[in-house]
Amino acid sequence: MNNKEWPLWEVFIRAKQGLNHKHVGSLHAVDAQMAVENARDVYTRRMEGVSIWVVESKYIHANEPSEQEALFEPANDKIYRHPTFYVLPEELNHM
């Protein structure tokens, strides 16, 4: 076991009921239970959360930054997906 680094975990905290869990950082722990316990000490010392998720970092999958354009640019010219694209009379007030 000498010089064997504990695995890295990503920590997600729900700040209060009704909000989604949000990524706050990472930490090392031997297993999920210890990761939750450590997350409590490292990331919630001042009532920052009511719920903790941890996931071992190696299980996070992400797109390549180089795919940025291919993935996200097609949305740029689709302004008709936004409400302001539609011109309506002012009398209509709230729509």
Residue closer to another protein (CB basis): 26 or 53: 26
Instruction: Please report how close the Cβ of residue 65 comes to another protein at its closest, in angstroms.
Output: 5
- Residue 55 interacts with another protein (CB under 8 A)? no
DSSP sequence for 17-81: TTSPEEEEEEEE-SSHHHHHHHHHHHH-TTS--SEEEEEEGGG-----GGGHHHHHGGGTT-GGG
- Residue 76 interacts with another protein (CB under 8 A)? no
- Residue 8 interacts with another protein (CB under 8 A)? yes
Instruction: Please report how close the Cβ of residue 79 comes to another protein at its closest, in angstroms.
Output: 22
CB 22 within 8 A of CB 12: yes
- CB 48: neighbour CB atoms within 10 A? 13
- Residue 3 interacts with another protein (CB under 8 A)? yes
Q: Which of 17, 47, 65, 74 forms a contact with another protein (CB under 8 A)?
A: 65
